[in-house]
Every structure is written in C-alpha cells, then in structure tokens.
C-alpha cells in the first residue's frame, strides 16, 4: 500500500485534487491511501476517505508527524496573492525546502513539488522549456520569486531527494474564481496579450502521473493547455467586453508560454480540456 502525503489539501488546487487521488490511489490492485496535512480539520471534510494530520506546514514537529510512514510526498501548498510577503516566503520556499530535507531523511520514494510557469524570465522569443534558467520577472511578485527559490533549494538537497517538479500555468475551472479574479490584473492588458492556463482536472491527472510514473526522478514538467487565453477571451468568458484602445501596447508575446512536450512524452499526459472554451462548453468552468 502506497501512502501519499498531500500538503495544501484544502487550497484551491488541493481540494479539487485530493478526492481524485483518493479514487485513483484506491483503484489499483495494491490499494493505496492519502494523508493530508491541514491546519483546520473542519475544512478537510469533503475530501473523501483521507487520513488527516492537523498541523502547520511551517512547523517542524507537524511536518514530522505528517511524514511518518509515507512513501510519496505531493507538495501542493502555496501562499498566493493577497498574503504578506513574509508568509509567501515562509510557505513557498522555507517550508517547502524544509519538508524536502526531512522527506529525504525519511527515505521517501518520491517528492512531487508543484511550481509555476512564472519562474521563467522574459525575452526568450519562444515557449519556455524545462532547462531554461529561472529568472522570474518582478512584475509577478513574490509568489513567482519564492517558487523559483524553492526549486533551487530542493535541488540543492541532491540525490537523497527523488524530486519531480511540476510547473503549472494559471489554474482554473470547477467553480474556482481565478478566471474572474484575473481581470483585477489583466483587465488593462491589450486584447491580444495571452495567458497560459490549465484546468483543475488536467492538473489532477498530471500530478497523479507524476506520482506513479516510474523512472522520472530529477525531472521537471511544464503543464498548460493547448490554447492560451487572450485578454479578449478573459473578458468574454467573464461575460464582459474588452475595453479596447490598447492594442498597440508593447508586451512579450511569449511571457508565461511554455512547451508541454516533456509531460506528453514522459507522462503520457494530454489535457482533457484543451482550451477554456472547451471547458466552458462542457460546463466545467
């Protein structure tokens, strides 16, 4: 029986991921189980048949209890927009790297870490690939910077940590308000500026594949759907009209755009929703 520890289980990604993991981990011949580390046990209700450890990812004693007896760690925890910079660094970098060190000492078989496509810099002139250097632009704030530094810290642990990194595009779908919230910062983008996105269902399936696919230790995977959304699309999907008038504004057309060839090749991953328009037609927004 493989026991999977999930951090961030009650967050936007985690609460949509964990019920799927419970089904998938229990569907194989050998069975399986999912353990979650949560600060609030009440919020863990509805995740399915999980083992709950109540504690804080930033506390060493709580991490130790959560790691006891697990074979795989799936670190989905993240402090996103709207939190103090200190909290973002504490969760996204410090706690993630500490968990990685402790997981290595505990002898886990795999440590899957979720990151972001915003760790890449500007000016590539093409979609980013996994070997590109990490150079998050300051415009994306402490979230991107802390995620980049977390990746570096985890890699410094070395061969003792069987690490797999999954870099996600902007995640949406299944009642997540992210698409509406995107207009807080993309509302003034020129109509043709693009945002790489990926549906929660596709995040779940790629993370599951990152957990179970053999022989992928020390690899990194970009994840995005097939059709980035323009600022025009973002307005349309939110029932609004783009204000127009900013078509000549300069921007990097490749910023945030990534190649997903590695995930397709190594993991056999294909997006169930190749575009947000497909998700909208399926009633999956």
**Whole-prediction pTM value?**
0.95
**What tens digit of pLDDT does each residue of 128-151 get?**
999 999 999 888 899 999 999 999
**DSSP states of the chain:** --EEEEESTTSTTHHHHHHHHHHHHTTSTT--EEEEEES-GGGGTTS-S-EEEE--TT-HHHHHHHHTT-SEEEE-----TTS-HHHHIIIIIIIHHHHHHHHHHHT-SEEEEEEEGGGB-S--SS-B-TTSPB---GGGHHHHHHHHHHHHHHHHTGGGS-EEEEEE-EEEBTTBTHHHHTHHHHTTS-TT-EE-EEEHHHHHHHHHHHHH-TT-TTEEEEE--SSPEEHHHHHHHTT-----S-TT----TTTT-B--HHHHHHH----SSSSHHHHHHTT--
pLDDT at residue 53 greater than cutoff 80: yes
pLDDT for residue 245: 65
List the domain boundaries for the chain: 3-169+200-224+257-272
Q: Which CATH architecture has domain 3-169+200-224+257-272?
A: 3-Layer(aba) Sandwich (3.40)
């Amino acid at each position: 029986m493989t026991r999977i520890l999930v951090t961030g289980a009650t967050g936007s990604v985690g609460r949509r991921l964990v019920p799927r993991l419970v089904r998938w981990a229990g569907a194989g011949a050998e069975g399986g189980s999912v353990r979650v580390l949560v600060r609030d046990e009440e919020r863990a209700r509805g995740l399915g048949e999980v083992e709950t450890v109540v504690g804080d990812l930033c506390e060493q004693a709580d991490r130790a209890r959560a790691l006891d007896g697990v074979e795989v760690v799936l670190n989905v925890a993240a402090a996103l927009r709207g939190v103090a910079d200190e909290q973002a660094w504490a969760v996204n970098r410090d706690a993630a790297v500490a968990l990685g060190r402790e997981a290595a000492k505990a002898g886990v078989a795999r440590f899957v870490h979720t990151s972001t496509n915003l760790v890449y810099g500007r000016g590539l002139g093409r979609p980013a690939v996994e070997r590109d250097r990490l150079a998050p632009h300051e415009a994306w704030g402490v979230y991107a910077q802390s995620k980049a530094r977390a990746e570096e810290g985890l890699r410094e642990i070395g061969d003792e940590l069987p690490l797999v990194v999954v870099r996600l595009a902007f995640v949406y779908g299944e009642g997540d308000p992210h698409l509406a919230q995107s207009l807080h910062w993309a509302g003034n983008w020129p109509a043709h500026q693009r945002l790489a996105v990926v549906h929660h269902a596709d995040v779940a399936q790629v993370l599951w594949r990152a957990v179970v696919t053999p022989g992928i230790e020390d690899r990194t995977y970009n994840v995005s759907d097939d059709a980035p959304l323009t600022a025009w699309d973002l307005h349309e999907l939110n029932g609004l009209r783009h204000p127009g008038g900013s078509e000549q504004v300069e921007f990097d057309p490749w910023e945030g755009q990534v190649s997903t060839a590695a995930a397709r090749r190594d993991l056999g991953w294909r997006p169930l929703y190749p575009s947000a328009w497909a998700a909208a037609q399926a009633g999956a927004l």
